[in-house]
Amino acid sequence: MAERIVVGMSGGVDSSVAALLLKRQGYDVIGVFMNNWEETGEDGVCTAVDDWADVRAVCDIIGIPYYAVNFQREYMEGVFRLFLDEYRAGRTPNPDVLCNREIKFKAFLELALQLKADRMATGHFVRTDAAGHLLRGVDPQKDQSYFLYMVHAGQLRRAMFPVGGMTKAEVRAIAAEAGLPVSRKKDSTGVCFIGERNFKRFLQTYLPAQPGDMVSPEGKTVGRHDGLMYYTLGQRRGLGIGGCGTGESWFVIGKDLARNRLLVAQGDDHPMLYSTRAVCTDVTWVAEPPMAEGGTIRCTCKYRYRQQDQPVEAALRDGRLQLRALTPQRAVTPGQSAVLYDGETCLGGGILAEVLDAGCGKDGRG
């Protein structure tokens, strides 16, 4: 009897080709569409209806059964509430990381096992080995290991990633050759529950805005902000401050939560935008921890998705991950994930909680 694989299908080309390849390899494939967000109006509408139609069309062409499952309650409790809590606390979260942990490799994996599946599969651009290590996808422009660092080896051993060893161009070519209607479908951008809607307007629906002052490093009020939750470190657009003084653009360099002040400064290379030391909480390792409590390793780190790997010294102290970048990093943002790598292997990471030496400057000397 063929091994049964349940494929998480989003309606995009990657998961569609994943299902197609598994079917061609002789597996007993079942397609499942996850509906994680209730469409309730103009704000926050995602493309669930259109995506579900694409899943049905693709599965009919491939010749596999398909189902839709509602994970709205799990998504609200495990992802969206934490998303709001982080913004309420003045941080900038990454809900895609939580979605993979709570929905795709927890709720969906449990569903796959209920369907008597041997394994689950997704269209992520990552690879694994027999031990459950998480490896980068071969396409450096599409590698998604950053978003899966919270997934454990035991879960990865039950998962398959058919497109992880391919480039995006190869995936689209296979879809076109098979006549799949999603072969040229645009990649989704942003968070599902926001889609391409106005982000500020979406947040206003759930969190009350508290306007306040924008303040320069000298303590001078240079403008007004609409609410600290709408801004992130290093942001330039949308500040509404003219280029007074030096004529250079203004950038967000910090947040004073106690006094509800947005800290801003002029110049893309202002010293306050740079730091080398940061602390992470919620530390997660994919497989065996690369260091014991009190230990230190040298590795590389991504402080944000698509960033080039940065050499760091990582230490574990009291369950918190302490990072020292070997070169100053720009706009390290609390709430985002710092993800560690050893070559092709994603080790794990944590949530950036605190920047310790903001102001060190681009050259590290302040």
Q: Which residues contact 125 (CB under 8 A, 6 or more apart)?
A: 14, 137, 139, 142, 143, 144, 161, 163, 164, 168
Answer yes or no: is 280 within a domain: yes
Answer yes or no: is 146 within a domain: yes
Answer yes or no: is 251 within a domain: yes
State both tokens at 100.
């993979």
The pTM of this model reads: 0.93
Answer yes or no: is 132 within a domain: yes
- Total domains in the chain come to 3
Answer yes or no: is 262 within a domain: yes
Q: List b or e across 260-287, with b for residues whose CB sees 16 or more CB atoms inside 10 angstroms.
A: ebbbbbbeeebbbbbbbbbbbeebbbbb
Same domain, 146 and 10: yes
State both tokens at 327.
């070169």
DSSP 8-state assignment for residue 292 = -
Which residue among the candidates 99, 280, 299, 360 is catalytic per the annotation? 99
Percent of the chain with pLDDT over 90: 82
Which neighbouring-strand residues pair with 279? 322, 354
Which of 129, 153, 177 is at the close of a domain? 177
Which of 177, 201, 229 is at the close of a domain? 177
Whether residue 30 contacts residue 5, with contact meaning beta carbons closer than 8 Å, is answered with yes
DSSP 8-state assignment for residue 23 = H
pLDDT in tens, 12-34: 999 999 999 999 999 999 999 99
Same domain, 69 and 122: yes
Same domain, 62 and 134: yes
Same domain, 304 and 261: no
DSSP 8-state assignment for residue 3 = P
Active site includes 99?
Answer: yes
State both tokens at 235.
């942001």
Answer yes or no: is 85 within a domain: yes
pLDDT in tens, 261-271: 999 999 999 99
CA distances from 181 to 6, 11, 68, 164, 172 (A): 21, 10, 19, 21, 11
Same domain, 62 and 10: yes
CATH code where residue 65 lies: 3.40.50.620
Which residue among the candidates 46, 59, 192, 360 is catalytic per the annotation? 192
Same domain, 241 and 312: no
Same domain, 96 and 42: yes
Same domain, 311 and 344: yes
Active site includes 192?
Answer: yes
For residues 259 and 189, which has the higher predicted lDDT (pLDDT)?
A: 259
CATH code where residue 284 lies: 2.40.30.10
Answer yes or no: is 192 within a domain: no
Same domain, 14 and 159: yes
Give the pLDDT mean for 103-127. Answer: 96
Band (pLDDT 50/70/90 cuts) for residue 195 is low
Same domain, 10 and 159: yes
Answer yes or no: is 83 within a domain: yes
CA dihedral 15, 20, 24, 26 (to 10 degrees): 60
Same domain, 42 and 87: yes
Same domain, 234 and 348: no
State both tokens at 140.
């450096």
**193: pLDDT strictly greater than 80:** no
Band (pLDDT 50/70/90 cuts) for residue 43 is very low
CATH code where residue 254 lies: 2.30.30.280
Which of 219, 236, 268 is at the close of a domain? 268
State both tokens at 8.
């998480």
**47: pLDDT strictly greater than 70:** no
- Which domain range does residue 308 map to? 272-355
